[in-house]
Amino acid sequence: MTSTPSTVQNLRVAIVGAGPAGIYAGNLLANAVTDAGGRVDIDLFETLPAPYGLIRYGVAPDHPRIKGIVNSLHEMLDAPSTSDPSRRRIRFLGNVEVGRDIALEELHERYDAVILATGAIRDAALDIPGIDLPRSYGAADFVAWFDGHPDVPREWPLDAASVAVIGNGNVALDISRILAKHAVDLRPTEVPDNVLEGLEASAVTDVHVFGRRGPQDIKFTPIELRELGEVRDVDIIVSDEDFAYLEGFVPQNNQLKVMLRTLQQWRTRETGEASRRLHLHFYHSPVEVLGTDGVEGIRFERTVPTDDGTVVGTGETRDYTVQAVYRAVGYYGTPVLDAPFDEVRGVVPNIEGRVITEPATAGAEDGGTAIQGLYATGWIKRGPVGLIGHTKSDAMETVAHLVSDAQGGLLAAPTVTADIVDLLDEREVAYTTWDGWLALDAYERQLGETHQHTRERVKVVPREEQVAVSRQESLVES
């Protein structure tokens, strides 16, 4: 991070969102202020009872390597305060929704600065006819279901034999792999029991993944693609015609080179023995979801690449018989009540992390007025692009500006000195704490031990149960 001022005032900072973006920001801020000879008290607010956001509720359960990031996030939240070892330097307050349980303005009254790190958990829209038919779903909703998010239904309809997935990124691969994979192969993971039961009853035999561009434009990562080819009893099927435009193409990086080699190898694989199939289609632009009372098929226009790297339609359409459609075309930001929000881009308008009033032109990064003491980081700042590692550099930029503003006297001092917990108690908000998360974490691991030690944990799904375990309260049987 850029060098910090030699001294900085003692700060109280609220961070809204306890996913990687919020945790990285808190950790970097604590280090920056301490290095500058100051002190900072950080409260991390999260609408869910448990921390980690995307890592807990947005990453497929069969990705243990990615979920290993939790270990470093745990260390950041578990670290003691340098000024008071009896406290943690970042205080976690879960099951608190800013805008419902407490207003953004009430945070401004109690903190020198507020950082928004709410991420993007909703699906981006796909504006084609039929997209709202029954059995047409958003990827984010499906991911939330198989990751045990407490605020989605416990059951998911998996009665379709043939399924279409629209998208050419890692989320599309994640949901396609979960749909195609046999439930028995997910048993060792932390997949919730209700999800395991649903997948065991799945009727899916064929999953079709459609991308508007060609193989050279895929947005996967090599690990995701390789894991797809390792799924047991699933044939990967690609079409030779989708590789006709690769002649003479030179990959610009090693990652793409590896992925194209993987795809080329799949072209020569023998298929036909597996009980399930995963079809990868390229140069398909969605035109319409077909059906009357529900999804019966999907229509695409065939595309071709142009010299400038884009694709154009050919006028040729192709119909596929499917009984369900999943759109994985991107995520849309999660706004905070009373904070500016760009409805077009799905982000909080900002300049390098400093939140500004709504620009005159949607999507513009200038023209607005900086809002004193309000910042943004992560996907709500830049949009749902980039991997988790990008979130750290994002937070570095935002924190550098916050510290600079503090040194320059640009932050308004809090007008209310009372602890925010007093207000939450007064409103009878059943907030959870870091110690509560440690209790829930231990409880989930204990549940895993009941499965003949084959599962690291069994994730608790109901919000009320998570809160009760975290607060060491008894559940009332209904």
Residues 97, 347, 109, CA angle at the centre, nearest 5°?
Answer: 45
- Residues facing 356 on adjacent strands: 370
| Residues 48 and 57 sit within 8 Å (Cβ to Cβ) | yes
Give the integer Cα–Cα distance in Å for 111 and 117.
Answer: 16
| pLDDT of amino acid 290 | 98
Provide the pLDDT for residue 5: 42
**pLDDT at residue 457, as a whole number:** 86
**285 contacts 311 by C-beta, under 8 angstroms:** yes
What pLDDT is recorded for position 274? 96
* Residues 121, 139: Cα–Cα separation, whole Å: 10
Question: What is the rounded CA–CA span in Å between residue 202 and residue 379?
Answer: 33
Count Cβ atoms below 10 Å from residue 124 Cβ, excluding itself: 19
In this structure, are residues 377 and 117 in contact, taking their beta carbons and an 8 Å threshold?
Answer: yes
The pLDDT of residue 7 is: 61
What's 11-121+333-431's CATH class? Answer: alpha beta
| SS3 category, 69 | helix
User: Tens of pLDDT along 352-405?
Assistant: 999 999 764 544 455 678 999 999 999 999 988 766 767 888 999 999 999 999
Q: What is the DSSP string of 380-425?
A: HHH-S-S-HHHHHHHHHHHHHHHHHHHHTT-SPPPS--S-HHHHHH
> How far apart, in whole angstroms, are the C-alpha atoms of residue 383 and residue 400?
20
Residues 6+ apart with CB under 8 A from 161: 203, 204, 205, 206, 323
Within the chain, which residues score under 70 in pLDDT? 1-7, 67, 359-367, 386-387, 389, 452-454, 474-478
Tens-digit pLDDT profile for residues 233-291: 999 999 999 999 988 888 889 999 999 999 999 999 989 899 999 999 999 999 999 99
CA angle 267, 269, 270 (to 5 degrees): 125
Question: What is the identity of the amino acid at 457?
Answer: R
Could you tell me the strand order of the sheet in which 40-45 lies? 90-93, 40-45, 11-16, 113-116, 370-376, 354-356, 350-351
Half-sphere exposure of 221 (CA within 13 A, CB side): 10
3-state secondary structure of 345: coil
* β-strands 311-320, 295-305 pairing: antiparallel
CA–CA gap between residue 4 and residue 158 (Å, rounded): 53
Sign for the pseudo-dihedral over CA of 69, 71, 75, 78: positive
Alpha-carbon distance of 240 to 39, in angstroms, equals 61
C-alpha distances (whole Å) from 312 to each of 169, 257, 280, 301, 472 are: 20, 24, 20, 10, 59
β-sheet bridge partners, residue 14: 43, 114
Signed CA dihedral, 102, 108, 113, 116: sign only: positive
* 155 HSE (CA, 13 A, CB side): 4
Q: In the structure encoding, which two tokens stand for residue 154, read together?
A: 């416990």
CA gap 167, 410 in Å, rounded: 44
Amino acid at 229: G
CATH, domain range 122-331: 3.50.50.60
Contact 287, 301 (CB under 8 A): yes
Domain locations along the chain = 11-121+333-431, 122-331
Asked whether the beta carbons of 167 and 327 are under 8 A apart, the reply is: yes
Task: Note if the pTM is more than 0.85.
Answer: yes
Going by C-beta distance under 8 Å and a sequence separation of 6 or more, which residues neighbour residue 246?
A: 214, 215, 216, 260
Answer whether 79's CB lies under 8 Å from 89's CB: yes
